Structure 1
Amino acid sequence: MKTSAFLYPWDVVGDPDAPARIADLGIGQVTLASAYHSTRALTPRHPRHRVVTAEHAALLYPPGELYWRERELRPHAAGPWAPGDAFGRAADALAAAGLDVHSWVVLAHSSRLGADHPETSVLNAYGDRYPWAPCIAQPRVRGHLVALAAEAAVRPGASGTELESCGWYGLAHLHAHDKIAGVPLDDTAQYLMSLCFCASCEQGYAQVGLKLAELRARVRWALDPVWRGGPVGHPGAELLAATLAFRARAARELQESAVAAVRARARAGFQVLLHADPRPDRCGANVGVDPAHILGVADGVVVPCTAGPGLLDPFAASAAPRTPHAVLAANLTVVSGMGGRPEALADDAARAAEHGATQLRLYHAGLASDVDLERVRKSGAVG
């Protein structure tokens, strides 16, 4: 089964042994970050450093000055964690080791955008901003993300791309020093806390017959029992159903526009995949989608499967009659310290294949320990 491993440029740049080490896993492809959010990452084998702190969302290559000059919202270049064309240098080194390189582009997840332009962020029912979560219903945000997708995806040396966070982001976020787990939130509560109440969303809700002030009051009323330790009030499911059509439409518009912009800029045969979850109400890195729709837009999906392969089923059911050549990639964490099971990779890959997976993704070859990488290499599951 064709397999790709995720990497950051800083896993490769400055480490001459990295390309051969990755190729020795038996994989044929690397999914290399070209636009990424802020993070703190371990580099356990790098000869120059052990921890890389990416201070803000950034392009990991030099942004095109002419491309961005007339645009209102602009991305930032990386700091010392990925100077210059870090993506290009890493891609060249990986290609020299015989590895196919695809870009990895994170879109609607940027605390830097939220800091520079607070009005672009999701505004919840209580008036709180989520600076990491751009509101994709806002036309200028959507235009920015589409432009970002096109430039960051089609980098020299890349033969395809994977678009992450190409949809709604919400409350759930691995924030620094996160302190929001004191009250458990089920899926409906997470959804209600992720609803946006900005002016663009007000227009969207109006199109489905909802008034913003009334909706805000009803969401607060439904969530009120949660803060006292109880379940979401009974209107919660109704509010989810009432607002989902607008939010799904906004996500579809972004996804269709982003994929079209990438294809318009890329050469023929350039592969475009989306990180996705088959439930349209889901927010985050693996955005909620309608499986039948998304497989008519992108060349396939990357689906989180570390907790089990069940999320593949709706995509497999949609792909079989309509798009039999769609890529259904099962994303499996192989970092033991992050809940991965590299020792069970062969079994997990086999189960994913039974549920329709045609490819594997390994998260994350740069973060994994030597022991975890050795387990991957010996598993016989990759190729």
Structure 2
Amino acid sequence: MKASAFLYPWDVNGDPRAAESVAGLGVRQATLAAAYHSTRALTPRHPRHRIVTAEHAAVLYPPGDRWHGRVLRPYPSGDWAAGDAYGEAADALASAGLEVHTWVVLAHNSRLGAEHPETSVVNAYGDRYPWAPCIAQPATRAYLVDLAAEAAVRPGARGTELESLGWYGLAHLHAHDKTGGVGLGDAGQYLMSLCFCPACRDGYGGHGLDADELAAAVRTALEPVWQGAPSDEGWAGVEKLLGETPANVTRAWRDATARTLQEEAVAAVRAAAPDGFQVLLHADPVSYHCGANAGVDPAHILSVADGVVVPCTGSPAPLTPFARAAREDTVLAANFTVVSGMGGSPTTLAADAARARRLGATELRLYHAGLASDRDLGVVRGVLAGL
């Protein structure tokens, strides 16, 4: 199975050994961040630093002329990835014999929400989620589509992986997070992720729902959850809390909004890319799920993109719905965390990869070559040598 390792430019730049070390793992591809959200990252082998703090979401290359005069535009990186950090790292990785694909984070941007709060998801209580741009807003959609095209199609890239190309909601890794005190469950997470910005309120109205009444119904539905009642899992749990009709109307609106954005973004990438350029989405097969792995309808997304990258740490079961909809040339990449300190299990990678292959996986993704310890990478190297 073809394997690719995720990397940040700062894992490579300034370390003359990094590119050859990644190639020595036995991967054929590097999936290199070109646009990324804020993060604090460990660099355990770098000769110049051990911690990199990316203070805000940024493109890791000089943004192009298309953004001149626009209110919503990508932020250039600070000194953690200065200049064309992506291009420098990509050149080093290609020189080491690796095929380089871009890794592009889209609807996840806390600085955008801080500086342009009107772009953010607004929950039923009126709270804004600055990390979550609302994908129903026309200006935000235009920004995301253009960002996808520019960040994905960097010089020399053979393909791209688009992350967060859909709804982002409540769930979010955040500094000093204190949101786990109440078990929201699947249904509660959905209700707390419903957006009530003006664009979404109009969307609900166009589907026959009064937005004020819907927001009140969401708050009423969540009251037992705040008091400690368990929130049922799955879509049946959402219908139980909110009622079958309003639940399904909100889902229809949100599913259609995400699908059309995905279609527009992929089309924009293809228009900007050379022939043979591969377009994959980080995806969850449950369309109402939010987050980095966008909830999608498997049959629809595989009619739009060349394939998907599917989170499989813990279980490769999410591959199954995609495998049912796959064509002969569809890429189904099983994504495994191989950093033991982040919940990964490199020692079970061989068995996990074998099970993923039986469920339809055609490729592997390894998260994350820059964050993993030498011990974790040594195990990965041995596993890949045996595949």
Is 1:145–2:152 an aligned residue pair? no
Alignment counterpart, residue 243 of structure 1, candidates 250, 264, 268: 250
Contact in 2 for aligned 1:191/1:240 (Cα 8 Å): no
Q: Which whole-Å deviations, capped at 9, do the CAs of 1:18-73 have from their partners, x for residues lacking one? A: 01100010010000000000000000000000000000000000001x21113231
Trace 1:258-269 onto structure 2 (pairs within 5 A).
Answer: 258-269=265-276
Is 1:96–2:95 an aligned residue pair? yes
Paired with 2:243 and 2:298, the residues of 1 have a C-alpha distance of: 21
Alignment counterpart, residue 296 of structure 2, candidates 289, 293, 296: 289
Extract unaligned runs of 5+ from structure 1. none
The residue that corresponds to 1:222 in the other structure is 221
The residue that corresponds to 1:361 in the other structure is 365
The residue that corresponds to 1:315 in the other structure is 322
Paired with 1:250 and 1:268, the residues of 2 have a C-alpha distance of: 28
Is 1:14–2:14 an aligned residue pair? yes
Task: Provide the alpha-carbon RMSD of the alignment.
Answer: 1.1
Contact in 2 for aligned 1:2/1:359 (Cα 8 Å): yes
Amino acid at match of 1:235: L
Amino acid at match of 2:33: A
Contact in 2 for aligned 1:4/1:28 (Cα 8 Å): yes
Trace 1:127-166 onto structure 2 (pairs within 5 A).
Answer: 127-166=126-165
Is 1:324–2:328 an aligned residue pair? yes
Total equivalences in the alignment: 379
Paired with 1:366 and 1:61, the residues of 2 have a C-alpha distance of: 19
Alignment counterpart, residue 279 of structure 1, candidates 276, 279, 286: 286
Extract unaligned runs of 5+ from structure 2. 232-236
SS state at 1:32 partner: strand
Paired with 1:142 and 1:187, the residues of 2 have a C-alpha distance of: 26
The residue that corresponds to 1:109 in the other structure is 108
Paired with 1:116 and 1:142, the residues of 2 have a C-alpha distance of: 17
The residue that corresponds to 1:206 in the other structure is 205
The residue that corresponds to 2:234 in the other structure is none
SS state at 2:139 partner: helix
1:208 Cα deviation after fit: 1.5
1:381 Cα deviation after fit: 6.1
| Cα 1:169/1:148, change in 2 over 3 Å | same
* Identity rate, percent: 70
Paired with 2:84 and 2:249, the residues of 1 have a C-alpha distance of: 45
Q: TM-score, normalised by structure 2?
A: 0.96
Paired with 1:269 and 1:112, the residues of 2 have a C-alpha distance of: 34
SS state at 2:282 partner: strand
Moved more, 180-189 or 67-76: 67-76
Alignment counterpart, residue 353 of structure 2, candidates 349, 354, 358: 349
Contact in 1 for aligned 2:222/2:241 (Cα 8 Å): no
Paired with 1:181 and 1:156, the residues of 2 have a C-alpha distance of: 42
Paired with 1:349 and 1:282, the residues of 2 have a C-alpha distance of: 25
Q: TM-score, normalised by structure 1?
A: 0.97
| Cα 1:311/1:259, change in 2 over 3 Å | same
The residue that corresponds to 1:43 in the other structure is 43
1:95 Cα deviation after fit: 0.3
Paired with 1:136 and 1:252, the residues of 2 have a C-alpha distance of: 11
Contact in 2 for aligned 1:3/1:382 (Cα 8 Å): no
